[in-house]
């Protein structure tokens, strides 16, 4: 089981967020597309949280992916992030959802995860 499924289409951002999470002790599974993340959510145990960029390039965006995932896993907690200052108009965040504006600090990321009740299950890595 992993703590975090991380969905990001930009390899350099994926690497930075993954490293920050793993240094803190989170067990992370990375997915480069929404479709890969959905398949992972269908086929294995529920992670503590799905962390995703909103704009994932081609295919589903982060909101559409989460909407599809909630049909499978209604209790899924989600942390969205984006270079935009707020979620697009018309998208209200639910009680198990949070939003971070890029760029964000590791501290802000960890505070949001803590607010959603997500705790690392592994040992922190040494940098």
127 within a domain of the structure (yes/no): no
Residue 5: its pLDDT value, please? 96
- Cis geometry, peptide bond prior to residue 125 (ω within 30 degrees of 0): no
What is the number of other CB atoms lying within 10 angstroms of the CB of residue 51? Answer: 30
117 within a domain of the structure (yes/no): no
81 within a domain of the structure (yes/no): yes
21 within a domain of the structure (yes/no): yes
CATH of the domain at 40: 3.40.50.2300
Tens of each residue's pLDDT in the chain, 127 residues: 799 999 999 999 999 999 999 999 999 999 999 999 999 988 878 899 999 999 998 889 999 999 999 998 899 999 999 987 766 666 788 899 999 999 999 999 999 999 999 999 988 876 5
33, 79 Cβ separation under 8 angstroms: no
10 within a domain of the structure (yes/no): yes
Taking the model in full, what pTM does it have?
0.92
121 within a domain of the structure (yes/no): no
95 within a domain of the structure (yes/no): yes
Through-space distance between the first and last CA atoms of the chain, rounded to whole angstroms: 23
Residue 127: its pLDDT value, please? 59
Q: Give the domain extent around 98.
A: 4-102
């Amino acid at each position: 089981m992993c703590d975090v499924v991380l969905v990001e289409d930009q390899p350099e951002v994926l690497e930075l967020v993954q490293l920050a999470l793993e240094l803190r002790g989170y067990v992370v599974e990375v997915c480069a597309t929404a479709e890969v993340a959905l398949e992972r959510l269908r086929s294995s145990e529920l992670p503590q949280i799905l962390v995703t960029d909103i704009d994932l390039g081609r295919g589903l965006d982060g909101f559409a992916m989460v909407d599809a995932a909630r049909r499978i896993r209604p209790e899924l907690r989600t942390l969205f992030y984006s270079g935009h200052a707020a979620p697009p108009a018309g998208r209200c965040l639910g009680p198990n959802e949070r939003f971070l504006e890029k760029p964000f600090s590791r501290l802000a990321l960890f505070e949001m995860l803590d607010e959603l009740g997500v705790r690392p299950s592994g040992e922190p890595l040494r940098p």
